[in-house]
């Protein structure tokens, strides 16, 4: 399946049982909710997916399970976040073998690579696979920025096709479009800046709170792309306190609590993460409770 790199693509959470195994039953409940809402792809193994805690065998099982659930309706995209180029290439090969149809790739982890090293890292991965690739550009969290000049080099490779734009500078969307036109698709990677990015011309939204609120997220995207900006903002303004839960270091716990509240997930996280407690937990629960009290009625967004 050719990936269009547009629409809403949830970075889904991984569900665990009480004895710390994969909870594929509740995972399927959430994936089906995403598909029914109209998402354009499923992204596995990101920060929200607690990928750093998963074994290679578990990652493979999640890919195969998701491919089976999706049944070709949307592409399954796998995140790569590795320290060693060789290992990243191995992950790409295994993901392709397990049925993944695209990759989202972070810069080298733990080591603050130079621009040349970063470009070489991405290029070696891209050359090793036929899968299309979205580069994850998040200098705030990962301390490496993929600049426009670096993209100029990377786009010599046909399968590098998109960027998850998480610099938190919305004007960067315009710079990318001005420099590369349609050659580099732009997907917003920061939930509280997503509508602003879409209005600036971003093609899609790699979303987090979509894991708990898939219909609202897709509705905002569809309304924005249909030019119904005020209708999109009406939902987005309601959504903003929830979207800001994505900016916390405890975003996994926050979003999993929201999934519980909407009936499409569980709270269980894998150590070293722990469930929220005390004032922090009460704050997040209050944000969720207040939002659910005023949850908007959505338009028929699928037919826009």
Q: What is the per-residue pLDDT for 110?
A: 87
What's the token pair of residue 210? 């979509």
How many other β-carbons are positioned within 10 Å of the β-carbon of residue 12?
27
Q: How far is it, in rounded angstroms, from Cα 144 to Cα 129? A: 23
Average pLDDT over residues 12-37: 98
Q: How far is it, in rounded angstroms, from Cα 111 to Cα 15? A: 29
Please answer whether residues 210 and 39 qualify as being in contact, where contact means their C-beta atoms are separated by less than 8 angstroms.
yes
Q: Using one digit for the tens of pLDDT, what is the confidence trace for 35-61?
A: 999 999 999 999 999 999 999 999 999
Catalytic residue among 121, 136, 221, 233: 136
Average pLDDT over residues 133-144: 95
Q: What is the per-residue pLDDT for 1?
A: 66
Q: What is the per-residue pLDDT for 239?
A: 98
pLDDT at 135 over 70: yes
Structure letter (DSSP) for residue 235: H
Predicted structure pTM score: 0.97
Q: Using one digit for the tens of pLDDT, what is the confidence trace for 233-244?
A: 999 999 999 999
pLDDT at 2 over 90: no
Mean pLDDT over each residue of the chain, to the nearest integer: 97
pLDDT at 208 over 80: yes
Domain 7-303, CATH 3.30.70.20 — does that match? no
256 is an active site residue: no
Q: How far is it, in rounded angstroms, from Cα 17 to Cα 190? A: 29
Torsion angle of the four alpha carbons 18, 23, 29, 31, in this order, in degrees rounded to the nearest 10: 130
Identify which of 166, 162, 205, 202 has the alpha carbon closest to the alpha carbon of residue 184. 162
pLDDT at 249 over 80: yes
Q: Sorting pLDDT into bands at 50, 70 and 90, what band is 84?
A: very high
Q: Is the previous residue joined to 201 through a cis bond, with omega within 30 degrees of 0?
A: no
293 is an active site residue: no
Average pLDDT over residues 216-231: 98
Q: What is the per-residue pLDDT for 170?
A: 97
pLDDT at 186 over 80: yes
pLDDT at 113 over 80: yes
Catalytic residue among 15, 164, 185, 268: 164
Domain limits of the chain?
7-303
Average pLDDT over residues 233-261: 98
Q: Using one digit for the tens of pLDDT, what is the confidence trace for 140-178?
A: 999 999 999 999 999 999 999 999 999 999 999 999 999
């Amino acid at each position: 399946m050719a990936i269009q790199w547009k629409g809403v693509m949830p970075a889904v959470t991984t569900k665990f049982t009480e004895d710390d195994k994969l909870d594929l039953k509740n995972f399927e409940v959430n994936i089906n909710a995403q598909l029914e809402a109209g998402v354009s792809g499923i992204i596995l193994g990101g920060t929200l997916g607690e990928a750093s805690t998963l074994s290679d065998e578990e990652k493979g099982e999640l890919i195969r399970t998701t491919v089976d659930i999706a049944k070709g309706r949307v592409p399954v995209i796998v995140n790569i976040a590795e320290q060693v180029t060789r290992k990243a290439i191995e992950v790409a090969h295994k993901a392709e073998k397990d049925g993944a149809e695209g990759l989202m790739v972070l810069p080298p982890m733990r080591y603050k690579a130079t621009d040349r090293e970063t470009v070489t890292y991405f290029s070696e991965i891209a050359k090793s696979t036929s899968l299309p690739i979205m580069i994850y550009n998040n200098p705030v969290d990962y301390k490496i920025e993929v600049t426009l000049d670096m993209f100029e080099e990377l786009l010599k490779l046909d399968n590098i096709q998109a960027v998850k734009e998480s610099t938190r500078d919305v004007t960067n969307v315009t710079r990318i479009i001005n420099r590369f036109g349609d050659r580099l698709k732009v997907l917003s990677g920061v939930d509280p800046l997503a509508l602003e990015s879409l209005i600036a011309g971003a093609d899609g939204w790699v979303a987090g709170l979509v894991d708990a609120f898939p219909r609202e997220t897709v509705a905002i995207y569809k309304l924005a792309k249909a030019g119904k900006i005020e209708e999109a903002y009406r939902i987005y303004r309601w959504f903003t306190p929830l979207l800001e839960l994505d900016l916390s270091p405890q975003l996994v716990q926050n979003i999993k609590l929201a999934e519980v509240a909407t009936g499409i997930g569980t709270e269980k996280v894998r150590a070293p993460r722990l469930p929220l407690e005390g004032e922090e937990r009460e704050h997040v629960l209050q944000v969720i409770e207040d939002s659910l009290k005023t949850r908007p009625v959505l338009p028929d967004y699928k037919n826009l």
